[in-house]
Amino acid sequence: MKVYFDNAATTPLHPVVIKEVSQLMASNFGNPSSSHQFGRQAKTLVEQSRKSISNHLNCAPNEIIFTAGGSEADNLILRNAVENLGVKHIITSVIEHHAVLHMIDVLKAECGINVSFVKLSEKGAIDLAHFENLLDDSSQKTLVSLMYINNEIANILPLKKVAELCKIHDTYFHSDTVQGIAHYGINLEDIPVDFIAASAHKFHGPKGVGFAFVRKNCGIKPLLIGGDQEHGARAGTENVHSIAGMALAFDLAIKNLEKDQAYVSHLKKYFIEKIKKTFPKVCFNGTSADLKSSSYVTLNVRFSKEIPMLLFKLDLKGVAVSGGSACQSGSSKGSHVLQAILTPAEAKKSSVRFSFSKFNTLEEVDYCLSVLKELV
């Protein structure tokens, strides 16, 4: 049996999306910037996709900017906040995605911005009291950048609470929502966040396409220069069929949200119960075992010892999982998230991130646990 439990890294394409994208690649090949009927047809598809996504988020279509994924969206937002909006101070955490942390490092070196890191609990939760103190003490134009759901330990940020605190303090708020946007409903009319980033391949859409949400009046200047596409916010011919595939995948996810939440939550709960019985000394990183304070998609398990080449051995048995962020899979540095919240001794123990989707089954959970029992 082959089991794919790495859906936080990427999800399999939805069969309906595969069919739609395949048809569009053959039938709708025009350049959206062309004035002839082939171009107009492509342009219409792009704008229909933009409207569909904005309707689900309760925002204006012109607040959606299509990108090549979440990392580009994060980069676009952060650089614009500093270079275009005059931000001099960024408040963030040490467990953000590297698309955020590395860009902040670049902006600090190039633009001399100040950076503050909010304190975390031993489970990786944001210390809201310290966060408020950082907001109170900031005398410069400030941007807060905190991810909605952590991609490794699945902690859920109280998004609306943080957004409201930022609004009270007249502070911009950016959230990388890549791990949560199609797994939980986000109402941008109700939540006063200024910027979010999303990526289609996290919700059964195509790879290489995503979007940034930029609140009206925030302004945006392009990272990529060479054309006036995306209302002047991003040069380059739009990836038409992938944008349409993303809009369809997002539509399917939102329309089936409650059913999918219930099904995947059951898988995760079943996995937790079974792995506790199989390995009584097992621990869970972050709040990932708490079904209320973590994403129902992801579970980060820490075994009681270091198990050499565990991920490789699981792969040989047909079980695909991750030791942390997939973006880190080729690195020997280990997880910066786990290093931030665990003691050095605990961080050395083998941790595995299991992440589920609606295409997984209880039989796959049982097989995975039987393989773990054999290897651990």
| Catalytic machinery residues | 327
Q: Do residues 90 and 115 make contact, with C-beta atoms less than 8 angstroms apart?
A: yes
User: Count of residues for the chain?
Assistant: 376
Q: State phi, psi for 96 to the nearest 5 degrees.
A: -70, 165
Tokens of 364: 């796959």
Greatest Cα pair distance, the chain, in angstroms, is: 66
Amino acid at position 72, single letter: E
Q: In what order do the strands lie in the sheet with 172-176?
A: 64-67, 210-214, 195-199, 172-176, 142-145, 89-92, 114-117
Q: Do residues 221 and 86 make contact, with C-beta atoms less than 8 angstroms apart?
A: no
Q: State phi, psi for 2 to the nearest 5 degrees.
A: -110, 130
d(CA 318, CA 10): 17
Q: Do residues 175 and 148 make contact, with C-beta atoms less than 8 angstroms apart?
A: yes
188-223 b/e (C-beta count within 10 Å ≥ 16 → b): beebebbbbbbbbbbbbbbeebbbbbbbeebebebe
In angstroms, the Cα distances linking 68 to 79, 111, 213, 234, 296 are 16, 25, 14, 10, 26
d(CA 253, CA 19): 16
Q: Return the half-sphere exposure (C-beta side, CA atoms, 13 A cut-off) of residue 257.
A: 12
Tokens of 357: 């989707």
Instruction: Identify which of 274, 327, 338 has the alpha carbon closest to the alpha carbon of residue 100.
Output: 327
Task: Quickly tell me which residue has 């995760």 as its tokens.
Answer: 268
Q: What is the DSSP string of 102-155?
A: HHHHHHHHHH--EEEE--B-TT--B-HHHHHHHHHH--S-EEEE--SB-TTT-B
